Structure 1
Amino acid sequence: MATLTTSDVTLPTQIVDGIVEKTKTGSTIAALSNQEPMRFGPATIVTFDDDLTAEFVEEGAAKSEDDAQPSSVVAPPHKAVVNFRTSDEFLIADEDYQLGVLDKFEEKCARALARGLDLGAYYRINPRTGSAITAWTNYLNTTTNRVEITASSEPDLDFEAAAGLVIGDGYSPTGVALDPSYAWTLSTARYADGRKKYPELGLGVNVSGFEGLRASVSSTVSGKPVDGSTADNKVRAIVGNYEQGIRWGVQRTFPFRMLQFGDPDNTGRDLAGHNEILFRAEVIFAWYVFADQFAVIEDAAA
């Protein structure tokens, strides 16, 4: 573990791989859409919403113009930072203890980055504060396609209504992100004779598909900055064209760092003065959400 005495820490391969894989599976966006390779900086995404038309041209006749034109949008970069303080006794501990701490950081870091991607792209929420980043104007929850859950609602019919709004706008829904409470509601829906409507959903945990669409479950759907948070924006499901409606990628990952001096997370506590060290991981995401390709199912009390 000699590398741990330097400021840039090289994690064991299995830990680095674990962070990447867990981030992918922990985010509903990453579970339902594909990451794209992106260079650092604002990424220009070409769009072509106008349909082209074919033209039959008779012998010797002139060809006419098709006025369909491509346009573009810009996916700006967003840096996500994860900090983790621990006692500087870590430096003199044995290798098993050090790897145990790194394993825990891996788990927490992966979870934080995964949730950050969802919260930023869905609701422009800063996960650390739980507040909206008002300078960001592109996020999914600006969609006008909305279905309200009422006391007489049937969850499967609400789902159909949401999918119908997306289809009515000319897009094909490919996935659905579910809040855990709504996944439970769907999994326990029953016919009048007591039979489950969707026995394949089990108890609503780790749902991977519903009604022919890919599915993913996370409390980020209801805008919770951390698991167990009481924050709740009343959104219960997001249905839409995840394959084309969200364009995202990781532009850059910074070296995992171990810092021993100063106040790198601006807490007012000097690391050396309080016998602490700080681990830091940074990732630059970029995304653009075409909000009109999605529909939100939300509690009527929202």
Structure 2
Amino acid sequence: MPNILQTGDITMPRELAGGIWQKAQKGSVIAALSGAEPQKFGEKDIMTFEERPRAELVAEGGKKSSSAAKFGLRTVKPHKVQVTVRFSEEVKWADEDYQLDVLSTLGGSLSGALARALDLTAIHAINPLTGDKADSITEHIGKATNIVEAGNDPDLDIEAAAGLIIADGFKPTGVALDLAYAWQLATLRYPDGRKKFPEIGLTTDVTNFEGLKAATSDTVSGNPEVAAPTNLLGIVGDWGTMNWGVQRKIGVKMIEFGDPDGQGDLQRMNQIALRAEAVYGWAFMDMNAFALIKKPVAQ
């Protein structure tokens, strides 16, 4: 049988490569709430209206006036993420079916890692591997200044957060919920014991709430990756104001020599490494389009 694993770039079978990205989108609250847009590699500027032009009613024979319009620029910046996984080099000598199993296993790990990487970088501006703040990320949702202190009723928290962004002229389109917070919402009850939201059921997989598209993941709080607690429980936003996409498709490369990840020389350890990389790019039109629901900080 032909050898799929060869030094250098690997052409991953189409059904596996497509599945990786599909699973990655399902695992990311950003991908679930804000559709990706095609992007070229590198920085790109997006023109925005800081003040939109207004139409004018003109009487018959009347004069026409100019409409003031103020333009601004937002810059989409690329951010590369990678996953490196080591295997015994014996996998190179196996038949094609076994190698496909290896790539399938890698694909499952990769999709989850990519999904979390998008959320952890664009929400918290951290390096997903270390949990530390990434100086290269200057724009992230965690910078939003609309903040609601969580109370005992998550539904009222979400309502208050939606009200904040509406007051700033935006339309709430979706809510991202941390898993524990989604469970709290699912188990809310009236004084007589009836569940407030029986349609949610005994699950944290909330897809819709009060007309808002919903997505749940522990990437909202950043646990367990974040080095310092964020206290973030939920994000209500006008998610259409976020411009993001994949600037470089998922590629897989086999590395046979050297120490590509600081874990020791591959040849000495009888190993090979498979590395997958993707490049995300994003920009936010206005951070007032988002409101954060945060756990109260103990005094």
Task: Encode CA deviations 1:83-120: one digit per residue, 9 max, x unaligned.
Answer: 11111121123434322221111011011111111111
Tell me how far 1:231 sits from its aligned partner: 6.0
SS in 1 for 2:219: helix
Q: 1:300 matched to which residue of 2?
A: 296
1:281 is aligned, of 271, 276, 282, to 276
Q: 2:198 matched to which residue of 1?
A: 199
Within 2, Cα distance between the matches of 1:111 and 1:12? 18
Tell me how far 1:194 sits from its aligned partner: 0.4
Question: Which AA in structure 1 matches 2:206?
Answer: V
Within 1, Cα distance between the matches of 2:153 and 2:250? 47
Within 2, Cα distance between the matches of 1:195 and 1:230? 39
Tell me how far 1:9 sits from its aligned partner: 1.4
SS in 2 for 1:3: coil
Q: 2:22 matched to which residue of 1?
A: 21
Q: 1:78 matched to which residue of 2?
A: 79
Within 1, Cα distance between the matches of 2:6 and 2:45? 41
Q: 2:287 matched to which residue of 1?
A: 291
Within 1, Cα distance between the matches of 2:59 and 2:13? 68
Cα 1:233–1:167, aligned 2, differ >3 Å: closer, same or farther?
same
Report if the CA contact (8 A) 1:85-1:277 is conserved. Answer: yes
Could you tell me which runs of 5 or more consecutive residues in structure 1 were left unpaired when the two chains were aligned. none
The range that moved more, 214-223 or 39-48, is 39-48
Within 1, Cα distance between the matches of 2:70 and 2:221? 37
Q: TM-score, normalised by structure 2?
A: 0.94
Task: Encode CA deviations 1:255-281: one digit per residue, 9 max, x unaligned.
Answer: 3111111111233x1111110110011
The number of residue pairs the alignment matches comes to 296
Within 2, Cα distance between the matches of 1:255 and 1:220? 24
Residue 237 (str. 1) matches residue 238 (str. 2): no
Report if the CA contact (8 A) 1:26-1:111 is conserved. Answer: yes
Report if the CA contact (8 A) 1:75-1:287 is conserved. Answer: yes
1:270 is aligned, of 252, 265, 270, to 265
Within 2, Cα distance between the matches of 1:254 and 1:186? 36
Within 2, Cα distance between the matches of 1:175 and 1:249? 18
Cα 1:292–1:223, aligned 2, differ >3 Å: closer, same or farther?
same
Q: 2:242 matched to which residue of 1?
A: 246
Q: 1:112 matched to which residue of 2?
A: 113
Report if the CA contact (8 A) 1:141-1:291 is conserved. Answer: no
Q: 2:255 matched to which residue of 1?
A: 259
Q: How does 1:163-242 map to 2 (within 5 A)?
A: 163-224=162-223, 226=225, 232-242=229-239
Tell me how far 1:248 sits from its aligned partner: 0.1
Within 2, Cα distance between the matches of 1:225 and 1:117? 15
Within 1, Cα distance between the matches of 2:199 and 2:227? 30
Within 2, Cα distance between the matches of 1:43 and 1:230? 31
Tell me how far 1:254 sits from its aligned partner: 5.3
Report if the CA contact (8 A) 2:43-2:77 is conserved. Answer: yes
Moved over 4 A (4+): none
Could you tell me which runs of 5 or more consecutive residues in structure 2 were left unpaired when the two chains were aligned. none
Aligned-residue RMSD, C-alpha? 1.7
Within 1, Cα distance between the matches of 2:112 and 2:250? 17
Q: 2:65 matched to which residue of 1?
A: 64
Within 2, Cα distance between the matches of 1:225 and 1:195? 33
Within 1, Cα distance between the matches of 2:242 and 2:116? 16
Report if the CA contact (8 A) 1:6-1:258 is conserved. Answer: yes
Cα 1:204–1:230, aligned 2, differ >3 Å: closer, same or farther?
farther
